[in-house]
Structure 1
Amino acid sequence: MADLPYSTALIVGAGAGISAALARALSAAGLRVGLAARDAAKLAPLAAETGALTFAADASDPAAVARLFAEADARLGEPEVVVFNPSARVPGPLAELDPEAVRRAMEVTAFGGFLVAQQAAKRMVPKGRGAILLTGATAGVKGFPRSAAFAMGKFALRGLAQSAARELWPQGIHVAHFVIDGGVRSERRPDRADRPDGTLTAEGVARSYLDVLRQPRDAWSMEVELRPWNEPF
């Protein structure tokens, strides 16, 4: 698996599930990996398993994101792959949503994506290479009832990905957006007995991320939809 054209990766919003599987896959491919989360202590087991470095940062805070990248530069090396995973949900009827909770969700899911992509671009543009991967969801393509805040954030993240790709691709930076269209299997979310293979596996999603990182410049993907084979769409 040591065929990726990159040597360092920073995963922002790391935790269990997709980001953990991605950390394992990137580490196995020979990359130096950094893991960032608001609570860096929770990342200790994954860091021990993968040899990754850990960083504490709030992705919605401009100063915190700037410090994160400065620290990553010093400890990890300037990240050549940056993955943005954070998101926030505020479920409930539109008329009853707390405006401040919605604002916070937007700051995490959308504004945080901008802050992370901006810091990544500042480092990648002078070198003319790199990859910025943004983790989206079905909600970034179609909004569902009682999920306005999540849809707003994911739609904005998808717009960021499209704009950044059109700007940065000609400068050698691969920007890609992943629509995770389905639930990701876990201990808390196992497959239903009456619907086997009804969820994605984190490992399968991670393999798709690495496949995108391997793409040649003459055949880059901007958006990739991932879903179980029996997911309706």
Structure 2
Amino acid sequence: MNPHPTPTEVCLVVGAGDATGGAIARRFAREGLHVVASRRRGDLSRLVADIEAAGGSATAVHSDARDEDAVRALVSKAEQIGPITACIFNVGGNVRFPIAETSAQVYRKVWEMCAFAAFLVGREVVEPMRKRGQGTLLFT
């Protein structure tokens, strides 16, 4: 992490849930980055309130990382706040199905959520980072 972030540096956390994603968002906020916390469903207001109560800044955006247009809009919104210097892809689900009992339809949904969504987010966020010559993209 940059030891002296500017006030507009942004950390985009895709999959900012109640556990790992929320902890990641709080950590980057403590380092002085503005956090754009995103998830498809669920309440983000508590996470934003926690970050702000600790002296950080955050914006909540509900977005489906499997939707190409939604990912473009999410990255655009984050870039309007400031340059994305870190993007954390933390989308996932706890899917417990024995492989022999898993349908192709269920597997495809898991693949879309984890692999395809990671591709979309990575593709959209890497270009502005490359133009600036800096940025970090992490997949958890």
TM norm. shorter chain > 0.5: yes
Whether contact under 8 Å (2:39, 2:62) holds in the other structure is yes
The one-character-per-residue Cα deviations of 1:111-142 (angstroms, maximum 9, x if unpaired) are 1111111111111111111000110xxxxxxx
Amino acid at match of 1:113: A
Counterpart-to-counterpart distance in 1, 2:101 and 2:30: 46
- Residue aligning to 1:103: 108
Gaps of 5+ in 1: 136-233
Amino acid at match of 2:120: L
Counterpart-to-counterpart distance in 2, 1:59 and 1:117: 11
- Residue aligning to 1:47: 48
The one-character-per-residue Cα deviations of 1:125-171 (angstroms, maximum 9, x if unpaired) are 11111000110xxxxxxxxxxxxxxxxxxxxxxxxxxxxxxxxxxxx
Q: CA RMSD in A?
A: 1.9
Which of the pair has the greater relative contact order for Cα pairs under 8 Å at 6+ separation? 2
SS in structure 2 of the partner of residue 126 of structure 1 = helix
Whether contact under 8 Å (1:33, 1:52) holds in the other structure is yes
- Determine which of 80, 88, 91 is the counterpart of 2:85: 80
Q: Number of matched residues? A: 133
Q: How does 1:5-154 map to 2 (within 5 A)?
A: 7-39=9-41, 42-50=43-51, 51-74=57-80, 76-135=81-140
TM-score of the superposition, structure 1-length normalised? 0.53
Counterpart-to-counterpart distance in 2, 1:121 and 1:2: 18
Amino acid at match of 2:34: R
TM-score of the superposition, structure 2-length normalised? 0.86
Identity %: 33
Counterpart-to-counterpart distance in 2, 1:5 and 1:30: 6
For the pair 1:3 / 2:29, whether they are aligned, the reply is no
The one-character-per-residue Cα deviations of 1:49-95 (angstroms, maximum 9, x if unpaired) are 11310111111111111111112222x22311000001134322323
Q: Which has the larger radius of gyration?
A: 1
Whether contact under 8 Å (1:10, 1:34) holds in the other structure is yes
